[in-house]
Every structure is written in C-alpha cells, then in structure tokens.
Chain A
Amino acid sequence: MKLVEALATISKGASSGGELLRVALVCGFTPLHLQTFLHAELQSRFPNHRIEIVTGTYGDVAGSLSSLVADGLEAVAVPLEWEDLDRRLGTRHLGGWGPGNLSSIHEQTRMRLSQLMILFERISKSIPVILSLPTLPLPPLFFTGAQRSGAWETALENEIFSFAAALTQHQRIRLIGAQRLQYLSPLSQRLDVKSEWTAGFPYSLLHASTVAGSMAQLIENPLPKKGLISDLDNTFWSGIIGEAGASEISWDLDHHSQGNGLYQQLLKTLAEEGVLVGVASKNDPSVIDEVLKRNDLIFDLNKAYPLDVSWGSKSAAVSRILETWNINADSVVFVDDDPLELAEVQAAHPTMTCLRFPRQHPQEIFELIVELRDLFGRDKISEEDQLRLESIRASANFVGTGDAEGFSEVLLEQAEPELTLTLKKDAEDARAFELLNKTNQFNLNGRRFTEAGWQNYLGEKDTFLLTAAYQDRFGPLGKIAVLAGRMNGEGLIVESWVMSCRAFSRRIEHQCLKSLFAAFNCETITFDYERTQRNGPVTSFLSGLMEETDTSRPRLSRQRFTEVCPRLFHRVREIKE
C-alpha cells in the first residue's frame, strides 16, 4: 500500500461510522507512517468499524506497556526494535559502541527481554499482543564486521530466538513471521536513515507498509479455510491416468514431477491437521481404483473424502462434495490444472478460492504450495480438527437410515450418545470462540465477536456460557455447540447459540435447552433471534418449538418445551463452574 492510498483509506473510513475498534501501537520510535499504514490496513479489513490507534510514549516501550489499560482495546501491536532493548543498538544515540561495551549490551538486552516477557504475558491475559521482533539490521558495532557473524552478534540473536520461542507458547501472543517479512520487505530496504535522524521514524515506507499489513492480518486473525478439493490428472500426479495407466503416472524427481509429490505432501499434512480434502476428477472410477492400490502415494487417496470421480461437470462434483461436507463454498479451495475447469467451478461457486496448479513451472508450483499453506494456517490444531473428517464419514454412512426429521429413534438410541455440558465462563476456550465466529447454519443471529469483545461479554456478571461436547459409539464429535446469554428479571435470555452442522439431527439442541431450564430453574427462555441468509436450520428448529413464530424475540416456556420436546437419549455429564 502506498502512503497516499493509506491516507485516502483512512479519510474514507472516517466518515463511515460504525462500531469503534481501538488498537494500541506501542513502539520506541515515532509511530508516524506505521500508525497511518496500520490504521489504513485495519480500516480495509474492518470496513464497518471506526478505527482508532492509540500510541505510547516515545523511547519507552516497557513504560508504555506497563501503563497500558487493556479495557476497550482490541489488541496491542508492538514493533520491537534493537534500540528498544539497548539504545546503543540504534544510531540516534552516540558514544556507546566499542569492544568494551559488547558484554554490557548483551546483558542489558537479556534483562530488557525478561522485563518485556513479563509485560507481554500480563497483557496477553486480556487482549492479543501482536509482535514483530527486531526487523532492522544491527548497527555496525561488532569488531568482526558484518561479513562474518561474531560471538556477540550471534549471542544477541540467540536471545531473540529464545524470547520468540517462549512467546509462541502463549495463545494470545502472535509473532509476525520473520521469513515472510523478509520476503516482502528485504532487509536492505527497511532502514530509512534520513527519516530516522530527522523524524525519529526508522522505517522506509515499504517496510512500514509491510509491517503494518502483517500486524493488521494478525489482529484480524482470519479463520482458515476448511476444505480443499483437488483435481487428480496433472495436479495430484503428473500424467493422465486414463491414457497412460496407473503405473505410468508420477510424482517424483526422477520423472520431473517433484511438484506433484510436494503437493501430495502438503495435502497429507493438511489432512492430518484436520483440513477436509476431497477429490473432483473427470475419469473412469475403475481407473482410479487401480491407483488406489498403489502403496507409494505420498497422500493416501483413501484418506480423501469424498472421491467424486465421474465424467460430469466439475462444478457439479464440487457441489456434491460441499453438500457432503456441509460447509460453504467460501471456506473451500479448489485446485485444478485446467483453466477452463477452474473457470467453470468459479462461475458456479463465486465465493470459492479457485487456484491453478501450474504444471511444468516448478517455481510457481512452490509458490502455490506456500499460498495454500497460508490459506489453511491456524493458531493450533484442536481435538475437533482431528475428528472432523471421521465424523463426516460416520454421518454419511447413516444417510438413508434416518426419517424425515433426521436419524430414526432406534438409531439415536442405539448410538449410545453422550453429551458433556459445561456451564463455565472460560474465556480461554478457543474452540467456543471459534465456533461462535465460524458457524453459519445453526446460528441464532449471526452475531460475531472480536476476542476483546468476547472477553468483555464473559466478564459481565449476569452472563453465562454453556458448551456441549458430543460422542456416541461411532466416535467423538468434540465440542460442537455454544450457548451464551444472561439472566434477568424476565428469565433466561439466549443471546448467542451456534452448533456445528456435524451435530445436526441428534437432538442435542433439545438437550441443551432442557439443561438450561434445569440449571437456571427458569420458567422461560427468550431467544435473541435474527434471520440471516444462512441460518435456516435454527429458524426451523425454533419454529418447531414455538406456538407463535412471527415474533422477533421468540420466548419458550418450560411447559411448552416439555410438551414438544421429543424423546432424548443422551447420557448427560454436567460440569459447572
């Protein structure tokens, strides 16, 4: 982003109004253009918000962090530089170099990092901390010269690496990826000495823009894609299996098809992380059966689900896969080597990310793999991520055994369902937060939360949080439902309610309400319901419960619920605060 574009974005955003989103930018230098770029990047990512950037005291990162009041802040962004660790590691202060000072510089750096660690740990208990570790080059103060790494230089770098390793253990501390930053903003183009000496701002415009963009991305922390649908011929492997046969396709160095092998390796990794991997291929299914017998595939195709192999259109195959996964196109990436197929799928699913596999171009294949890695990047791998595919397979196996309203009562009973209901306001429950922000279909009103907003909500004394984890004899689904609301004089109000589509038709929603009536001993539950484009399932569910369905805040009495609640088969385990 250019500076003039950033200013225009800010100017445009200033008139848009909307909810306030405040971010603290704490740096030892004058924030100047970094503040401008960060404001603009956040405005682009949060177009319906009014952005405000608050800044700290010049030259005093630790002091600014110590006095930071997290209330009302969405995040704190800290571009830490060498000079913040010891002023002798900058160029604005004179008289501190020389071989006799190196030991004390190292010691001062170590002490300052220890101090900052305590501050970051404290702040991250309330809000996310977005941090870039020294991005500017060390000044030429080492006697070895820059062409050779000496003991003192590596000792300083080692302190930073150890510091970074410790920080990554904290859920709400997010470090900007140093390699990506290096790629986008080369070291040689980062420092602007003139700006540093005249304005106290050491970053070149390119570097300021890059750091701000990275910070804004980590503040937004967008949800990763959930599924990848891949073509096979000249994508998953090199060659056309229908013409060459299963023994002639390849994915290795010897056959100049290492890119296909690397792609398979990525798919295997993604699948192990819980990404859904499906296949849409125009082929004869019997030909694919042959390749399934090969035991040298890097990614075992038996682990892809579903395998949609037919001579029909790719877009129809993709639609069938989406239906099986029960997720939206905007959560899915489609990869194919054929531009026409990509265009056809893109036209049918405009919100899907469609990427071309650039066969015969190794560099471009590598870049595609890097891009895919980023699209599926996540904070951590949860238990639910690893259960997802198997639970979809298990659900699909029972299609056809259910009645019009879902699974048959016999099946529900024989499934030996167990539900763990936890009534506890745990702000550290990342899965609950994730479900609230990604579930579309069974979603009471489509309301989303920022991390700070969710923390504040749970901090209100009259609110509650109920989460539900499910398993049956076919396997666990993990944590699949979240209800949040509050008690007031009228009874219980449910303000947010989401449930994973994998858990539909198991009467979990009924069991949740039954438990709420019991836990709060209330006579009514009011639902803060709003119709959205996608929340048909929750609308249908509430319609089935209520006597009157045309009210915007439907209210359910205990008596009515008892009358309409179907038979429940769950063995319920309750955990309370």
Chain B
Amino acid sequence: MARFLDLPIRQKLVVVGWMTSLSALIVSCVVFVISAYFIGRANALIGSDILASIIAENLTTSVLFDDRATAGETIRSLRATPTVNLVCVYNANGILIAQLAKTAEHGCPVSPPPDQRAAAARTLTVVRPIVATDKRAGTLYLESNVVRLTEQLRLQGMAAAVGGLAGLLIATLVAARMHSRIAQPIISLSATAAGISRGGSYAVRATKSSNDEVGRLVDAFNDMLSGIEKRDEELRAANQMKDEFLAALSHEMRTPMNAIFGWLQILRTSPKGADVADEAIARIERNARVQARLVEDLLDISRIISGKMDLKLVPTDLTQAALASVEALRPSAEAKHIDLRAEVPDTPCMVSADPVRLQQVVGNILSNAVKFTAEKGTILLRVESRANEFRLSVTDSGIGISKEFLPRVFDRFRQADGSITRQYGGLGLGMAIAHDLVKLHGGTLEAESGGPGMGATFTMTLPALLQREGISPASVASGTVSLNGLRVLVVDDDDDARRVAAEALTGAGARVVSASNGEDAMKELASQEFDAFVFDVQMPAIDGFALLKLARQLEWEKGRFTPAVAVTAHAYAADQSQARAAGFQRVVVKPYEFSALKSAIADSIRS
C-alpha cells in the first residue's frame, strides 16, 4: 500500500481503473457462469423432456401394437444425439420392449421407474408415460448427460473472459486520455510550485483548467502566491526602512560623539583654568545627554514593541508636567528665537500617569515642534479641562505635515522622507514613543496640519482622574539627598564606573570603600561593617547576585542586614525584577544621574 501511495498520480489512476474494472469483470464473469450453469441445466432438462415427449408420441402405436422392431427403430434415431445416454421403452405391463444404451455404465431398469423429471450432478433423467388418446400405453425412460452443458459453459466462460479482457484493454486506452485530463492540472501545478521553490519569481501564477477541486486548489495556490508576493514586497520595504534607520542611527550617534571628542581635545590642550574649560564641560555634558537620550529612546521603543513597558501610575498633575517640559525646552527654543508660550488652567489637572513618562511625552511633542519650527516661529502649548478628560495641544508654525504623511506620522523609524532626516536629524522615534506611551496611559495623541508650510497641531487627550481632593502631586525632581556619614561598599569590575559611583557618593557625604571583584569585596566585608551595598550585576567570576548571596550569609552569622542597590546596564524590567528577587532593595540602570543613585541608596536604607 505504501508503494501504491508513492506512485505518480497518473499511474495511481491507471491502477485504480484497472482494479475496479477487473473486480467488476471477475464478479460479472462468475455470476454469468453460475447463472449460465443453472439456466443451462434447466434448459437441458426442458430439452430432454421435449425430446422424451416427441419420442413417446412416436412410440404410441409401437407400444399399442407391441411392435418392438418399430419401437427399436424409433429410439435408434437418438443414436446420433450426443447428450442421450440411455433410452428404455416399457409397455403398459411394465415390460421392457426396446432399449438404446450408449454408455455401458448401466442398462435399463427391469421395471419402469416412477414418472419424473430429475437433474442429478451429471445426468438428467426423464420418465414419462406413452399415451394413446387419453390412456397410458407404456413408459419412456430417457437419461441424458450434461457433458455438452459443461463444454458449453467452458466455452461461454472463456468467451466472457476474452471479451472482458478486450473490454479492459479498450477501457484502459480510453481511460489513458481521461487520466491525463485529471492528472495534467495537478502535474502542472506541482511543476509551477517546484519552479517557484527553486527560486523562481512569486509573480508566476498557475493556470486553471477546470472548476473542480484541482481548480480550487489552483485558485488557493494563486491566492497564496499573491499573499507571499505582497509579504515579500513588505519585507523588502521593511528591510530598506531598517537600513535607512541604521544609517540614521549611526549618524545620530556620531554627531554628539564627534562633539564630545572634539571638546575633550580642546580641554586637554588648553591650559588649566582656562575660560574655555567651562564651555567645553557644558558642551560635553549636553552631547552625552543627547546620546543617553538616544539610547533611552531605543530602549523605550524596544520595551513598547515587546510589551515590557512598565508604567508606575500615580496621580499626576498634567499642568505641572507640561510646564516642566516647557521650561526644559525653553533654552533650545530660545536658541532659534522661537516664541514658546504656555496657556494652562489655574487648577491642577490630575491624571493617572507615570510622571517621568508623562514629562517624556510632552517633552517629545515640544522638541518635535521646536525641531520643525523655523527661526522666529511660534509654539503654543495649551492645557484645557474637558468633561472627563484633559487636553494638551501643541500648535506650531512649522513646516507642517503633508496629507500623505499625516496618517503615518506616528509610525516608528519614519520621517516624511530621507531629506527631512538629513535636514533636521533625529531617528523619527520621538513621536512614535509619545504616541505609544499616551496609548498605554489610556489616552489619545492626534496630529493635524493644514499641509506643508501651514504648521501642525498635536493634541493629547488623557482621561481625568476623578478624586481631586487630598492628593498631593508627586514630585518629579527630587531634592538633594544627604548620605552624610553612611558607610557604602561599592563593587564594580569596571574602573570608570567604580570611580564615578565612589565620586558621586563621596560628594553626598558618604564614606565609600571600593572593590573591583567579589573576592576583594568579601575581604572588606569580613573586616568591617557597612550601611549600604552598591553592586554591579555583571562581573566576571562572582557576579552581583552571587556576591550578595555570600554577603547575606556572612551577615546572617553576625545577625546583621545591610540594604543593597544593584547597578545594571540591562534596562529591561525583567532584569530588574530578577535583581529584586535576588535580594536587592533597589535597582539603578546605567547610565544614571548621580541623584538617581543617591536617592536609591537613601530609599533602600529607609525601607
């Protein structure tokens, strides 16, 4: 059966055709021969009876007048009839008066058997009266054989078989054409598919020659090809977009880096205490922040795409966030002489939001406006209170957005065209992130524009938080944290990172002990006590998690517990929750502001 399944469809059809015809032929032959046998026997018996009745009729007078010679003559006429075996004539008294025995098997019975018409396996026996007028004048016994019948049957069977085989042959020849009708579309479809998978074009289509299952298969196949072709096109477009994005990313990374290296060289070559130093430091810092922002944006996009953006939703005043962003953007607006104004209500506009993210959204919208607004343009930020929501709109007098690009303004990695990227820089991530963040907050962000040169308006809507009373807005910026007199153990294998952390904490009044690996750290732990740990997570030999485990063991023996802060370059929430699970009280993600590290230590001690 398995071998049958492996046959090509054309041969399968031939085999199936043969099998059906052959079985039909065999069955009909058998039925024909069997029925012919029974019909033949019945006919032979009838024939035998007719023969007997004719002979009996001719024997009437011979029997009546006891003319044995004539009786013998009459039955001798049956000598030439091959089926007749034995003929016996009895007179009315049951005395045998004439007989004809052709086979020596047995002679005539002494007295006549009872009248009968019987068919045995090999002989047919007819015993019938010889009647004169209406009286019985004697008895005729006629025994025939069925040799002719079996001979006939053999001939008929052979004829049926020969005829059937001839029919089968003709049927096969006729079927060969039909077979190719059925198999050809499948074969050509298969060839088309093979051609495509060998690297042919997806633009090829299979030809449909019928409306049956194969025809539907061809349709489905062609639909599939269309789908693949479209997907292929999309893939190519996405690939091209990714290439463009990578080029842009590289450009965006290099520009601030170039500035940083440049100002570093100036700093190194200028004499100590020169005036240029302050400007150099300020410029290096700004460019480093631009780079950090870039990395942060990339991470945000990655978080949003993978659904790992964790929002810490707390009651937040939209107005405050908006004003803080306006102030943050004011320097860059003023650099372009842009008139940046804000109109806000005098009551707090409380929404449920992650304050850092909310400020990021408004900042992105504003910086986008600043970026695309020409010198001496205007930007107006307005916060309005509606029935159940707050609306923040930013209207600029910038280059505007074309009708074609408007629906894709929030697509990731996209700016209206390459020339805009070259002219204005940026990765086209800011608005995409803003849009996604607003959506995560349960709000909407929409763009409107009268067209190129007509400026644009971005409108964010956030649902209002219902309970307005007794809620103090969370502070976005934390004040200065004092770590006065705290003993902190800092462990990091990276020299710079360790130095930076030590510097930051010392500046806040802490006494810092540093170690570059787990082994040294354990030595310090054995010799003295600390108020807080700051461990890098990724270190060779003993990583931060293992080190904390060892430290906690040591402390447990001494009956102490020191709060711990993990520092990691892994920005994902999963890494942070892993660190918390390992026993760290706080997690700080690199790169960090000094204030973030300091408040993390302070928080960890407080909790």
A and B are partners in one complex rather than unrelated chains: no
The interface of chain A, by Cβ under 8 A from chain B, is none
The interface of chain B, by Cβ under 8 A from chain A, is none
